[in-house]
Amino acid sequence: MIHDLLFAPFGDPAVRMALAGCIALAFGGAPIGVFLVLRRTSLIGDALSHAILPGVAIAFVFAGFSVLWMTIGGLLAGLATAILAGVATRMSAIREDASLAAFFIISLAFGSLLVASFGTDEELVHVLFGRVLELKAEALLTIAGIATVTMAALALLYRPLIAECFDPGFLRRAGWTGALVYTAFLSLVVLNLIGGFQALGTLMAVGLMMLPAAAAGFWSESAGGQIAVAIALTIGAALAGLVFAFHAGTPPESSIVLTAGVFYLVSLAAGPRDSIGARLIRLRHLEA
């Protein structure tokens, strides 16, 4: 009974591949999501996922459904948008959010113009919403590779990234490194969104990056702790979402992201730190 409920789904190799893909995504995307939340730039993931779309679409139009070309196309479009926006922010008085909004909309409009001119295909829906159960070995390797690069880069960038998050002025005065750190970080965001779209599509990929990260803030006080919680929640959402989709016959991609959404709502309501529940329960205060 329990075996049928919990283990039977993973008898299917496609489901196992999907799970492997999501676990790899967790190790890359969750820490990135935590840093986005801590920098108060949670919506940048959304903006950049729109920015990579034209690159992916153009590659699709010219090279068909090729993981390699769609990855390269998305990477170029996303990085170009992020770097142009970052350079514009640092060279003028425009704020980061306005700058990014401007450039990702330009990127999106340019992409739609190209796609509309050179024809479209129903397979493009695939790019938008993904097909996690058709994850090929090639795509899985890409995702795992991106997760590996991300973890290595984060190990190197951890201190400057923390510094740039909580005291950007100090890092700026320490030299030119602020811009470098910021650009490297945005590149990691783009890379992980690319990884995510292989499995879940560009739209759902942001969900798996941001929901566990936002939920993690209700569980841990330190940045490291939040990263650990976010990774665990992502893997949990993948497991539960795949099991649910298998039995209920729902699309696995949205099931996984919705499970992550449920985790977020539960954390918001009952997480031990700063949640609605934690604020309602008033324990007796301590001695002064």
Partner 1 sequence: MSAGAVRLEDLTLGYQRHPAVHHVSGSFAPGSLTAIAGPNGAGKSTLLKGIAGELRPLSGRIALDGLKPRDIAYLPQIAEIERRFPVSVLDLVALGAWRRAGLFRSIGRDDLALAHHAVDTVGLSGFEDRPIGTLSGGQLQRALFARLLVQDARLILLDEPFAAIDQGTTADLVEILKRWRGEGRTVIAVLHDDALMRAHFPETLLLARACVAWGATEEALRPEHLLAARRMCEAFHDDAAVCRP
Which residues bind to partner 1, rule: CB under 8 A?
38, 40, 156-157, 159-160, 162-163, 165-170, 173-175, 177, 181, 221-223, 226
Burial (CB count within 10 angstroms: exposed 0-12, middle 13-18, buried 19+), residue 285: exposed
* Neighbour tally for 92: CB within 10 Å: 9
Which among 93, 62, 59, 87 has a CA at the least distance from the CA of 73? 59
CB of 192 to partner 1, least distance (A): 21
Residue with tokens 């995504």: 25
Contact (CB, 8 A) for 201 and 209: no
* CB nearer partner 1, residue 156 or residue 269: 156
Q: Minimal distance in Å, beta carbon 73 to partner 1?
A: 31
Q: Are 28 and 192 in contact (CB under 8 A)?
A: yes
Give the nearer residue to partner 1 in terms of CB position, either 30 or 132.
30
Give dist(CA 98, CA 105) in Å, integer: 11
Pick the closer one to partner 1 by CB: 175 or 249: 175
Q: How far is the CB of 224 from partner 1 (least distance, A)?
A: 9
Q: Which is nearer to partner 1, 19 or 37 (CB)?
A: 37
Smallest distance, partner 1 to C-beta of residue 163, A: 6
- Give the residue with the Cβ less far from partner 1, 125 or 276: 276
Query: Half-sphere exposure of 229 toward its Cβ, with a 13 Å CA cutoff?
Result: 24
**Smallest separation, CB 241 to partner 1 (Å):** 29
